[in-house]
Chain A
């Protein structure tokens, strides 16, 4: 299913919108009319994808689903792609050629590096020469100071990520493209990075996500599967739609026992879904009514423990990874 548009919190409203609802306000930060890029194992294809200014979008999906490719095609970094649309109100093709427009954007890519023998201080100086400004706060929060006299090549994975994030964030861009921004970061820098991003309230952010920490920051989620945007909605609406609002975890002695008990609940609770069974644990998702089942199972002879609560962002990530 190709994406149409998102205009409210309803996941269903994101799909198959009538044409009159596609009349859009003039200031979408990202507006892809059509995008097509043949990849080795599939064709990346997106139509009518629109992100309003200030929205934080997370791209989720299994490895190889096309998240990074989609990001790079939007940025004009892939030869052989055909894209029509606008970034910050400018034609994408025009945007690629205009350095002044590019100054409004920040980009952090997974597999892109500066020449390794540059010192971090030289990279910071280069950034300042390009933008004539660099936030001291970003420099400080990302802990760049102690790295200044190190060569870029000699930095650890996390240190390299911090320098790459500095290049993307220090000029406080209007539009940010991030590819797994927290990968390799220590917890303290991961928190600091998320705090920086949260402070950029007016900025529009599109990022490829693989962790619940990254996903927690997103207001919207685009589920990429086989080169297409399978679903696009607000994060919690999509969690409810795809996973279910609540989760029930049933721990038993064996997988067989867990599967048998979980299966017995399905006819009673039609909205419930059995997600997985492993290591004696059955995981089910469904509505609030699973609360009743949880209470009943507490005294069940074959059940060791029962956990009931709201479904999590990890559940959403796992769903999108397994089913993409």
Chain B
């Protein structure tokens, strides 16, 4: 690395650390936000929502009775946001976010003849909602046995795809806050800084010095990458130390997490670069980045659960840059997943990054006309 490049990176870091507002948004606000959310909502809560599909293959009085109990219980369950749909037959596969409960043919006659019968529960994905529904069905079935089968455990629950995920509210908030702060630091600060340099004609001045503008821009991006990494490390350490958020900080998991964060940070920096391509003034850049920030913050399941969002929309917003980033981050950091398990999210991140860089390559202009 040349001396000039090192000096430029150091100067950029100094500029960032002298900008108190930037420091607040990158380093302090995530802690305030996390503390505020955990203080307000506690650390033990769960993010649970699910679509429950009911299939009655028996069409008997008993099956109707069981189905009614399921409906009534879900209707009055505050801990779980759910939507119950009735299916005539269980022919197709279970979609993500859906838990299918099937009352088998012969359900009523089995109880009448005091024979054992199993309710089939199939979860489309292993999220918190599916786990809550599964646990809850087991409890409801015990109650049903007590009332209808006079304490004989005639009705059992056969969970065909047991949920394995258990993302606590605190872990959800931590990972969401991490991506949120990186979004602010990478996208906003990059775009605004470039617009500021363009407004001040700094790039013009640099064009006249023996330094490549691409190197100058690279120094801006590298310095921000360093700050992002530092902010991520501090937030994770702070979360474990001050908020007792359970995280397994073993080396392989941290290495995978670092890779995902590097990919995500690179993608968000590229987004900032693409947005800055034609920004001629700081106010324009602030407006555009705030708009993008709010949209991504609300639609990416970062810190605000998308419980009530229709499944069709959910499946679309899952491909947003920050959605893919936070999904992969939650997987590798909280669940200890391998990278291969998140190849789709990682592919989405890489694709977005390539797209943003292509936009910047095509439209970026050093100077205002």
**Interface residue ranges, A against B (CB under 8 Å):** 72, 75-80, 96, 99-100, 102-103, 105-107, 109, 111-118, 122, 125-126, 129-131, 167, 177
Contact = CB atoms under 8 A, between A and B. Distances in A.
A78 B201 CA distance: 11
Contacts of B209: 102, 130, 167
Contacts of B367: 77-79
Nearest to A40: B369
B93 interface: no
Given A79-B369, A111-B201, A117-B18, A103 B210 contact: yes
Contact of B4 (A75, A79, A111, A126): A126
Given A79-B367, A80-B369, A113 B205 contact: yes
Contacts of A112: 200-202, 204-205
Nearest to A104: B210
The 9 closest A-B pairs by CB, nearest first: A107-B208, A112-B201, A103-B210, A112-B205, A129-B7, A99-B210, A129-B4, A113-B200, A102-B210
Contact of A122 (B4, B11, B204): B11
B60 interface: no
Interface of B: 3-4, 6-8, 11, 14-15, 18-19, 196-197, 200-202, 204-205, 207-212, 365, 367, 369
Contact of A113 (B6, B14, B202): B202
B202 A118 contact: no
Given A103-B210, A113-B201, A115-B11, 14 more contacts: A72-B204, A75-B208, A77-B367, A99-B212, A102-B210, A105-B208, A109-B201, A115-B15, A115-B200, A126-B4, A129-B4, A129-B6, A130-B209, A177-B208
18 contacts: A75-B208, A76-B207, A77-B367, A105-B208, A109-B205, A112-B202, A112-B204, A113-B205, A114-B200, A115-B200, A117-B14, A117-B15, A122-B11, A125-B7, A129-B6, A130-B211, A131-B210, A167-B205
Majority secondary structure of chain B interface residues (helix, strand, loop or mixed):
helix
A111 B200 CA distance: 7
Contacts of B204: 72, 77, 109, 112
Contacts of A99: 210-212
B197 A115 contact: yes
B366 to A, nearest CB: 8
Nearest to B369: A79
Nearest to A123: B11
Contacts of B18: 117
Contacts of B19: 117
A96 to B, nearest CB: 7
Contact of B365 (A79, A105, A114, A130): A79
Contact of B207 (A96, A111, A129, A131): A96
Given A113-B200, A115-B197, A129-B3, A77 B207 contact: yes
Nearest to B220: A115
B22 to A, nearest CB: 11
A122 B15 CA distance: 11
A291 to B, nearest CB: 48
A109 B208 CA distance: 10
Choose among A116, A126, A167 the residue with the greatest number of B CB atoms under 10 Å from its CB: A126
Contacts of A80: 369
Contact of A130 (B11, B14, B201, B210): B210
Nearest to B6: A129
A206 B19 CA distance: 38
A126 B212 contact: no
Contact of B210 (A75, A78, A100): A100
Contact of B196 (A76, A115, A125, A126): A115
